[in-house]
């Protein structure tokens, strides 16, 4: 009973309102994990979004720079694409001829600068944003009619993408059709994709954020609209800490005597276009010297490889002091490969914080005020609690109940808030049901982890399964899903 009350107390909604935006609009939560996609023989990692009528389901990679939401045409892999394992890496395929809702738009002018080998066409189509909390259950969908989509015919990038760049047509359409409160968006990219080698899944929240996914007061930064990736930050220090807890700053010219003076802070773009970090040349040289790194291209992204294993961490310190630390299993995987890219001395490419960075932080973007927020991501035992991100407001983390009962019971994914709409009775059944579902999921996850000890990440250590009696399964489920069917 006590835990039931705990669960209920968590159903409190965070409702904010302003004059200009309807902040009573619920956000749309779209999860990111591996799943079956249209016309592909393998599961692919990405955002669960379908399109067309009938639906062709895809896994879309979020892009913080691309403005269009794009899909691969069936010809994408036929025209000499250099995308590795193209037929199983596009995020699915979309055949516009099979859809009754596609309308081609020949005159549309792209908002994106693209690589020269990239070819595409545009049209209006019905997008289906799926909200799917549990693998074992059905999804609910939010339809975005007449949304502008891009169909990629040729190129070398992963073509299925959620475009959430600063002129995102998807955010524009969602806001214009009053489906969300305003052009706000939040992302946790997760670590369940091959390059990251982890198991934690991610999520998108359109018009909202997942208040259970981060902790503390989020740090605010202005967007730099001049950059292709407008979410850019200034890095003032990078520190390597070894297993004896000794710290070395890569900016310290008394340690790295190649440097005549302490280097200036530098601007780095947060991007999902690459996994590794791209640091200034001299900083990269200091890493090579300190950790004994060598060039490598196993992943096609020039990530450095260590000659000898290193059981330490790397911390990135931003100009406001916010510090993001890569744990040992991210700084160096089982094959000694780091998430740090080699850099040519003459390179003029921007500096990047890639998805290795985003695996550790929660990103919340407000395109109405051109600000964004970063906070440490909760990776373990997070509670999915999507709430509205009212434009111009500061996101607030869900405050976990003080009794560790909540955690002890292992409610690693209680879905509260936005979904429930405050109906007490349903919430009660729902909480019970969730607990029971989670128990099942945890057992499964434990099996998975056992199977794959090598890739086990510290963050995913799970606590004991709860000792709940299972609820009347059918009743709980029926009520829950009736309420959520569109
Ligand atoms: C604001 O959104 C809520 C929830 O969708 C809706 O019920 C209400 O009518 C909207 N108000 C306005 C002024 O559009
Ligand atoms: C991530 O999603 C996959 C489905 O692709 C699921 O099998 C797995 O259990 C999820 N991982 C976690 C940690 O929840
Ligand atoms: C693909 O490569 C072949 C052989 O290299 C070439 O003949 C053909 O023109 C190329 N096709 C495209 C669309 O570039
Ligand atoms: C997206 O649009 C913005 C303008 O709002 C532009 O600065 C940016 O370069 C565009 N993205 C790409 C990939 O071209
Ligand atoms: C697409 O996903 C939705 C939601 O899970 C599902 O209902 C539908 O059957 C799927 N469509 C196909 C063709 O797999
Ligand atoms: C989408 O476009 C079609 C044709 O232009 C129109 O009939 C329909 O009402 C539009 N739907 C929405 C939701 O705008
Ligand atoms: C580390 O990267 C290599 C690629 O060389 C990959 O084969 C291996 O599975 C990765 N290991 C882990 C634990 O992620
Ligand atoms: C790394 O160091 C920590 C303590 O600093 C230790 O608990 C852990 O076992 C070490 N891991 C390896 C692989 O040596
Ligand atoms: C290294 O830095 C960490 C974090 O700031 C600190 O906890 C630790 O005490 C430092 N180690 C030493 C030896 O000063
Ligand atoms: C939770 O406990 C801590 C210390 O045990 C206390 O400082 C804090 O005020 C408590 N928070 C609430 C919400 O009770």
Residue 148 gets the label, from left (phi > 0), alpha (psi -120 to 50) or beta, of beta
Whether 134 shows a pLDDT value over 90: the answer reads no
6 in any annotated domain: no
The answer to whether residue 408 sits within a structural domain is: no
Cα of 66 to ligand 6 centre, how many Å? Answer: 25
Nearest ligand to the C-alpha of residue 418? 1
Highest mean pLDDT range out of 78-82, 388-392, 471-475? 388-392
| Residue 235 structure tokens | 């890095």
Residues 232 and 316 in one domain: yes
Q: How far is the CA of 80 from the centre of ligand 3 (A)?
A: 6
Confidence band for 80, pLDDT divided at 50, 70 and 90: confident
Q: Where are the beta strands (DSSP E) in 155-231?
A: 161-163, 184-188, 202-206, 208-210, 219-222
38 alpha carbon, closest ligand = 5
Domain boundary among 131, 163, 180: 180
Ligand 5 centre to CA of 43 (Å) is: 14
Say whether both 34 and 153 belong to one domain: yes
Identify the CATH number of the domain in which residue 106 sits.
2.40.70.10
CA 349, 352, 356, 362 dihedral sign is negative
The CA 388 to ligand 1 mean position distance, Å, reads 13
Domain residues for the domain of 133 are: 26-180
Output the 3-class SS for 4-18.
HHHHHHCCCCCCCCC
Ligand number with the minimum distance to the CA of 176: 6
In the reported structure, the alpha carbon of residue 437 is separated from the centroid of ligand 2 by a whole-number distance in angstroms of: 13
**Which residue's CA is the nearest one to ligand 9's atom 5?**
247
The single residue listed with the structure tokens 């407000």 is 366
What distance in Å separates the CA atoms of residue 451 and residue 335, rounded to the nearest whole number? 19
Same domain, 360 and 225: yes
- What is the percent of the chain where pLDDT is above 90? 69
Compute the Cα dihedral for 134, 92, 353, 217 and give only its sign: negative
* Ligand 9 nearest atom to the CA of residue 244, by list position: 13
Q: Which of 295, 296, 331, 333 to mutate to test the pocket of ligand 7 (most atoms within 8 A of CB)?
A: 333
Task: Report the alpha-carbon distance of residue 424 to residue 421 in Å, rounded.
Answer: 9
Confidence (pLDDT) at 464: 25
In the prediction, which pLDDT does 314 show?
A: 97
Single residue among 329, 354, 377 that ends a domain in this structure: 377
Which atom number of ligand 5 is nearest to the Cα of residue 57? 1
Q: Does the pLDDT at position 151 exceed 90? A: yes
Q: What ligand 1 atom has the least distance to the C-alpha of 22?
A: 1
Domain check: are 174 and 227 in the same one?
A: no
Give buried/exposed letters for 52-85 (b at 16+ CB in 10 A, else e): beeebbbbbbbbbbbbbbbbbbbebbeeebebee
Greatest extent of the chain over all pairs of C-alpha atoms, in Å:
71
Residue 108 has pLDDT above 80, yes or no: yes
CA 188 – ligand 3 centroid, Å? 38
Q: What is the mean pLDDT of residues 454-471?
A: 27
* 448 within domain boundaries: no
Is residue 173 situated within a structural domain? yes
**Is residue 55 in contact with ligand 5, taking CB distance under 6 Å?**
yes
16 lines ligand 1 (CB under 6 A): no
Average pLDDT, the chain: 83
Domain finish residue from 326, 348, 377: 377
Q: Which atom of ligand 5 is nearest to the CA of 56?
A: 13
Residues 248 and 360 in one domain: yes
pLDDT tens for 30-78 read 999 998 999 988 999 999 999 999 999 999 999 999 999 999 999 999 8
Q: Which residues line ligand 2 (CB under 6 A)?
A: 33-35, 135, 192, 199-201, 445
Number of domains, the chain = 2
For residue 91, being part of any structural domain is answered with: yes
- The pLDDT of residue 438: 57
**Residue 18 domain flag:** no
Q: Are residues 372 and 225 in the same domain?
A: yes
Q: What are phi and psi of 247, to 5 degrees?
A: -110, 140
Q: What is the pTM of this model?
A: 0.82
* Alpha helices by DSSP H, 385-451: 405-408, 424-451
> Closest ligand 6 atom to the C-alpha of 145?
13
Question: Is residue 297 included in any domain, yes or no?
Answer: yes
Q: Tell whether 124 and 255 lie within a shared domain.
A: no
Least confident segment among 153-157, 246-250, 337-341, 437-441: 437-441
Same domain, 163 and 287: no
Residues 140 and 245 in one domain: no
Task: Give yes or no: residues 57 and 146 share one domain.
Answer: yes
Residues 143 and 248 occupy one common structural domain = no
Cα separations (Å) of 459 from 34, 110, 330, 331? 19, 41, 11, 14
CA distance 42 to 385: 30
* Residue 326 binned pLDDT confidence (cut-offs 50, 70, 90): very high
Helices (H) then strands (E): counts for the chain = 8, 24
Instruction: Please tell me the number of Cα atoms within 13 Å of 354 on its side-chain side.
Output: 19
CA distance 75 to 151: 10
Per-residue model confidence (pLDDT) at position 447: 52
Check whether 309 has a pLDDT greater than 50. Answer: yes
Is residue 197 included in any domain, yes or no?
Answer: no
| CB distance 297 to ligand 8 below 6 Å | no
The residue nearest atom 5 of ligand 4, judged by CA position, is: 167
The pLDDT value recorded for residue 404 is 54
Same domain, 113 and 227: no
317 forms bridges with which residues in the sheet?
A: 237, 323
Which of 312, 328, 332, 453 is the pocket-test mutation for ligand 8 (most atoms within 8 Å of CB)? 328
């Amino acid at each position: 009973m006590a835990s039931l009350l705990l669960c209920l107390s968590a159903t409190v909604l965070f409702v904010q309102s302003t004059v200009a935006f309807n902040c009573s609009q619920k956000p749309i939560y779209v999860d990111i994990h591996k799943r079956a996609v249209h016309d592909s023989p393998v599961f692919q990692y990405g955002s669960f979004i379908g399109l067309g009528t009938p639906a062709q389901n895809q896994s879309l990679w979020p892009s913080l720079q691309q403005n269009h939401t794009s899909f691969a045409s069936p010809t994408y892999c036929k025209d000499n694409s250099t995308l590795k394992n193209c037929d199983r890496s596009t995020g699915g395929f979309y055949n516009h001829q099979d859809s009754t809702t596609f309308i081609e738009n020949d005159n549309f002018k792209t908002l994106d600068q693209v690589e020269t080998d990239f070819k595409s066409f545009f049209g209006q189509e019905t997008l289906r944003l799926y909200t799917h909390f549990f693998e074992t259950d059905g999804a609910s969908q939010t339809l975005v009619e007449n949304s502008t989509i891009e169909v990629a015919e040729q190129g070398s990038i992963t073509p299925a993408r959620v475009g959430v760049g600063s002129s995102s047509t998807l955010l524009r359409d969602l806001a214009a059709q009053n489906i969300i409160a305003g052009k706000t968006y939040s992302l946790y990219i997760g670590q369940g994709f091959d390059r990251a080698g982890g198991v934690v899944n991610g999520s998108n929240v359109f018009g909202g954020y997942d208040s259970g996914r981060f902790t503390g007061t989020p740090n605010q930064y202005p967007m730099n609209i001049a950059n292709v990736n407008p979410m850019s930050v200034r890095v003032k220090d990078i520190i390597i800490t070894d297993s004896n807890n000794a710290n070395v700053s890569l900016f310290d010219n008394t340690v790295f005597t190649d440097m005549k003076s302490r280097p200036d802070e530098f601007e780095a773009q947060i991007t999902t276009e690459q996994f590794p970090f791209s640091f200034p040349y001299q900083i990269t040289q200091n890493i090579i010297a300190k950790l004994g790194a060598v060039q490598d291209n196993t992943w096609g992204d020039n990530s450095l490889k260590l000659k000898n294993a290193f059981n330490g961490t790397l911390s990135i310190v931003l100009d406001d002091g916010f510090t993001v630390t890569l744990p040992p299993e991210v700084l160096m995987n089982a094959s000694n490969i780091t998430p740090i890219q080699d850099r040519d001395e003459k390179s003029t490419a921007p500096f990047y914080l890639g998805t290795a960075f985003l695996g550790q932080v929660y990103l919340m973007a407000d395109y109405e005020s051109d600000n964004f927020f970063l906070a440490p991501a909760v990776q373990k035992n997070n509670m999915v609690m999507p709430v509205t991100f009212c434009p111009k407001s500061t996101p607030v983390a869900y405050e976990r109940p003080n009794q560790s009962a909540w955690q002890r019971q292992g409610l690693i994914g209680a879905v509260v808030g936005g979904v429930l709409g405050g109906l007490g009775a349903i919430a009660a059944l729902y909480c019970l049901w969730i607990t029971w579902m989670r128990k099942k999921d945890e057992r499964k996850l434990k099996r998975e982890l056992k199977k794959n000890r090598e890739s086990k990440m510290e963050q995913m250590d799970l606590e004991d399964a709860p000792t709940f009696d299972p609820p009347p399964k059918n009743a709980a489920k029926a009520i829950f899903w009736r309420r959520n069917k569109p």
